[in-house]
Amino acid sequence: MKALRLTAWGEAPASVEIERPVPHGAEVLVRVEAAGLCRSDLHVIDAPPGALPYRLPFTLGHEIAGQVTALGPDADGVAAGDRVVVYGPWGCGSCARCAAGSGNYCDRRDTLAWHGAGLGRDGGMAEYLLVPSARQLVPIGDLPADQAAPLSDAGLTSYHAVSGLRPALGEGTTAVVIGVGGLGHLAVQILRATTESRVLAVDVREDALALADRSGAHFSTLMRPDTARALRARSGDVGADAVLDFVGTAQTLELAVGVLRPGGELAVVGSGGGSLTVAKPGVLPAGFRLSLPFWGTRHELAGVVTLARSGALRVETECLPLSAAPEAIDRLRRGAARGRTVLVPN
């Protein structure tokens, strides 16, 4: 089968022919219908030797949807023909967090040579994917694969970030989304579907603001010197109850702190390299709460799929054949990707 594999650190991934895997024990074989491309894939591809604990070679792709085609003798809970999305954060599989379906916060994460499918273990930028067990699969019914695959990472990460803030987002509150790309546009939709907050969006691109508006934002604005003032004016002049920063640069963190209400909450999802100084006395608002949410839980993935199947979520996608992966990676790197890029095995 064809697979896009990382074969040497710091080199571009290569399309190679490898054996189609055979499921053993509780393993399940999935025929891949779609695999999303994530900015974290760029971080993996660009990693210098020793930066990541992963063993080469492995197949990329940690945002996958497809159809069950074969089961190991001990596999249960799924049947051949089931269409599924793959829960990607494969931890150790046996600690308390993994047993509870929170592989994203595996207690043994720092001891593992992988972080999940396509992250040190063979992933879904291939014709077939071997999944450790049916626990990593969530049924998607007749959801189109290009809509389903992004739910497992972009959707799940956004849903997990919002879930941590939901208590602060009751009636009369304001949430600000900074960065309306593959994750941010889903966060806008999830906020509108699962909270009562007024949703304000910020980006540096006009087309991203249009995407924010289509996703249900009550207000969207470009990043400018007076953006904090404009956002505070639309949050009853008291400031935002929560900010979700999907960029995570020094500039966006500064904006986030500048618009937060006393007692407000900041979730930093983007890995833009920015930093905050936490000091008392200091410039952070009284009662400031910070979270660094990572990916999400298997239970939350089922929740995202339920939202999508109810019609409450629509993923802006750009579908390309798997063979066009080099072009797709370059477009993502140049900031030219629109919405979430989804690769389809061809």
Q: Which residues bind Zn ion (CB under 5 A)?
A: 38, 40, 91-92, 95, 98, 106, 108, 153
Max CA separation in the chain (angstroms): 62
Both tokens assigned to 247 = 């960029």
Of 194-233, which residues contact ligand FEH (CB under 6 A)? none
Minimum gap (Å) between residue 38 Cβ and ligand FEH: 5
| DSSP code, position 197 | -
Phi–psi pair at 84, nearest 5 degrees: -140, 160
98 binds, among Zn ion, ligand FEH, none (CB under 5 to 8 A by kind): Zn ion
Minimum gap (Å) between residue 185 Cβ and ligand FEH: 15
CA 198 – CA 204 distance, rounded (Å) = 21
Which residue has the CB atom at the shortest distance from ligand FEH?
40
CA 133 – CA 136 distance, rounded (Å) = 6
Q: Does 291 engage in binding with ligand FEH (CB under 6 A)?
A: no
Peptide linkage before 281 cis (omega within 30 of 0): yes
Both tokens assigned to 101 = 């379906």
Of 28-87, which residues contact ligand FEH (CB under 6 A)? 38, 40
**Is the CB of 72 or the CB of 155 nearer to ligand FEH?**
155
Q: Does 246 engage in binding with ligand FEH (CB under 6 A)?
A: no
Bridge partners of residue 117, in order along the sequence: 121
Q: Does 241 engage in binding with ligand FEH (CB under 6 A)?
A: no
**Is the CB of 152 or the CB of 189 nearer to ligand FEH?**
152
CA 80 – CA 30 distance, rounded (Å) = 9
Q: Judged by CB under 6 A, which of 83, 97, 115, 198 binds ligand FEH?
A: 115
Minimum gap (Å) between residue 62 Cβ and ligand FEH: 6
Q: Judged by CB under 6 A, which of 136, 157, 173, 317 binds ligand FEH?
A: 157
Minimum gap (Å) between residue 93 Cβ and ligand FEH: 17
**Is the CB of 96 or the CB of 283 nearer to Zn ion?**
96
Query: Among residues 296, 343, 294, which one has the least CA distance to residue 323?
Result: 343
**Is the CB of 147 or the CB of 157 nearer to ligand FEH?**
157
Pairing of strands 219-222, 116-117: unpaired
Both tokens assigned to 54 = 């992963």
Q: Judged by CB under 6 A, which of 3, 35, 98, 119 binds ligand FEH?
A: 119
Question: Do 97 and 118 meet the contact criterion of CB atoms below 8 Å apart?
Answer: no
How many residues are listed for the chain in this entry?
346
Q: Does 153 engage in binding with ligand FEH (CB under 6 A)?
A: yes
CA 202 – CA 313 distance, rounded (Å) = 20
Q: Does 102 engage in binding with ligand FEH (CB under 6 A)?
A: no
Binding residues for ligand FEH, rule CB under 6 A, total 7
**For tokens 């291939």, what's the residue?**
126
Both tokens assigned to 76 = 């249960």
Phi–psi pair at 240, nearest 5 degrees: -85, 140
The residues, ordered by sequence, that sit 6+ positions from 335 with a Cβ below 8 Å of its Cβ are none
308 binds, among Zn ion, ligand FEH, none (CB under 5 to 8 A by kind): none
Q: Does 295 engage in binding with ligand FEH (CB under 6 A)?
A: yes
Minimum gap (Å) between residue 40 Cβ and Zn ion: 4
Of 309-338, which residues contact ligand FEH (CB under 6 A)? none
**Is the CB of 39 or the CB of 234 nearer to ligand FEH?**
39
**Is the CB of 40 or the CB of 291 nearer to Zn ion?**
40
